[in-house]
Amino acid sequence: MDDDLDEKVRRAAAIRGESVSEFLRQAAAERAEDTLAGTVRERFADVAGAIHGGGGRARRTGEAFRDVLTRRSPKP
């Protein structure tokens, strides 16, 4: 490690009340977990596409939005 990173690690470990070794073990474990967790698609593969809403409504939202914008409100 360069001197700057070494100092940051030492200060961070001290703030947490941990040894430098424990701090680095925890950091390595968290990074390994994040890396091994995979992509979002892989993490949600078991549930993605499991719910079907029936569709229909979303197909016409652009048309409905245009209609709302072009309607004139009644004059008072």
For residue 68, being part of any structural domain is answered with no
Half-sphere exposure of 17 (CA within 13 A, CB side): 0
For residue 31, being part of any structural domain is answered with yes
For residue 27, being part of any structural domain is answered with yes
* pLDDT for 20 beyond 90: yes
For residue 5, being part of any structural domain is answered with yes
Tally of domains within the chain: 1
For residue 63, being part of any structural domain is answered with no
Q: Looking at residue 57, what is its pLDDT? A: 63
For residue 16, being part of any structural domain is answered with yes
End-to-end CA distance of the chain: 74
CA distance 43 to 47: 9
For residue 51, being part of any structural domain is answered with no
Domain of residue 11 covers 1-44
For residue 62, being part of any structural domain is answered with no
Q: Looking at residue 19, what is its pLDDT? A: 97
Q: Looking at residue 55, what is its pLDDT? A: 61
